[in-house]
């Protein structure tokens, strides 16, 4: 399908590949976009340009949107689940670190969805074939609480609650350095223009607000922080904590993970501790807590040991 879009003042000066990335569907990779530009499948006012070309307000970008590849249905797998609560409409799970929530193009098995399909036989098709029942996500290395819808009614209700920000999410994190007693971080976020795996602060990004309160300082080494994001942007807590000078311990994208291994840290120290929401059928306000995992508890114990040794 051939599309034509005019560059606005907002995008003036953007690289051509970034501009196209922002407007094509997310199943089109950045490498595919760059290849299409080089092959002349993306034109600026009818002319070929390099991916690094800086677009100007008023220019017309013509490009062809490839068809979305067909998605195969996710398959059930006998993977143990740590179930906190379950009824006929919802299931609340404590997701372990290292497990991705739903299948992606390069990983089709071993996900939370594969485990859920084995546990809930009639989950397939609710919310999409690759993400059945999923209404919110956690990063692969983030552990903790996640709620899944077991029918369309619950999926619609929970999706609306997350969109309206009427749910309450609380995380516990271990950050590098001595964090302030409390604070609010308000910085807009967007996809990094070069490294598409990362998010970054962009003046024209999506609004993002994170509130935090320090629970415990361990000298100047690290701090245990309670975090309450008001918005739910990708990598929000991780990027916001980095921006105030306190990246999460073990964060391979935004911190100095190799320096944290001496503390027994092998993934970013972030755990979804608590989730509050209205039950989709009864409307009753519900609140659930996911126990802190052993690896995080062990890191806190190591920090106590280091602090005692320094004193």
Name the pairing type of β-strands 270-278 and 143-149: parallel
For residue 269, which of 237, 243, 309 has the smallest C-alpha distance?
237
Residue 231: how many CB atoms within 10 A of its CB?
14
Assign 2 to helix, strand or coil: strand
Which of 138, 115, 117 has its CA nearest to residue 127?
117
Q: Which of 139, 251, 260, 295 is catalytic?
A: 139
Q: Which two tokens stand for residue 301?
A: 């114990």
Q: Six-digit token pair at 21? A: 């990335």
For residue 165, give the 3-state DSSP assignment: coil
- 295: phi > 0 → left, psi -120 to 50 → alpha, else beta; which? alpha
Nearest by Cα to 234 from 268, 190, 284, 203: 190
Residue position matching structure tokens 């921006």 = 243
Strand partners, 229: 210
**Does 139 qualify as catalytic in the annotation?**
yes
Q: In this structure, are residues 226 and 168 in contact, taking their beta carbons and an 8 Å threshold?
A: no
Q: How far apart are CA 237 and CA 190, in angstroms?
A: 13
Catalogue the active-site residues: 139
């Amino acid at each position: 399908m051939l599309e034509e879009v005019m560059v606005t003042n907002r995008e003036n000066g953007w690289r051509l590949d970034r501009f196209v990335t922002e407007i094509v569907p997310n199943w089109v990779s950045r490498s595919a976009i760059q290849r299409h530009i080089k092959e002349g499948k993306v034109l600026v006012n009818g002319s070929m340009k390099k991916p690094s070309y800086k677009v100007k307000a008023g220019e017309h970008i013509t490009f062809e949107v490839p068809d979305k590849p067909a998605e195969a249905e996710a398959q059930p797998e006998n993977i143990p689940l740590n179930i906190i609560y379950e009824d006929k409409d919802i299931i609340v799970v404590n997701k372990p670190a290292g497990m991705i929530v739903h299948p992606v193009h390069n990983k089709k098995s071993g996900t939370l969805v594969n485990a859920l399909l084995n546990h809930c036989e009639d989950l397939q098709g609710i919310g999409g074939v690759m993400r059945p029942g999923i209404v919110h996500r956690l990063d692969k290395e983030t552990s903790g609480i996640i709620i899944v819808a077991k029918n369309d009614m619950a999926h619609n209700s929970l999706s609306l609650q997350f969109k309206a920000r009427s749910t309450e999410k609380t995380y516990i994190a271990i950050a590098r350095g001595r964090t302030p007693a409390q604070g609010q971080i308000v910085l807009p976020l967007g996809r990094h223009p070069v490294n598409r795996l990362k998010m970054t602060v962009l003046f024209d990004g999506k609004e993002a607000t994170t509130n935090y309160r320090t629970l415990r300082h361990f000298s100047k080494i690290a701090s245990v922080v309670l975090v309450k994001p008001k918005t739910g942007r990708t990598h929000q807590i991780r990027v916001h904590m980095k921006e105030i000078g306190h990246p999460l311990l073990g964060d391979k994208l935004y911190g100095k993970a190799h320096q944290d291994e001496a503390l027994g840290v092998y993934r970013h120290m972030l755990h979804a501790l608590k989730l509050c929401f209205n039950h989709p059928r009864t409307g009753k306000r519900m609140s659930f807590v996911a126990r802190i995992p052993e690896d995080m508890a062990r890191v806190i114990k190591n920090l106590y040991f280091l602090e005692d040794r320094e004193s």
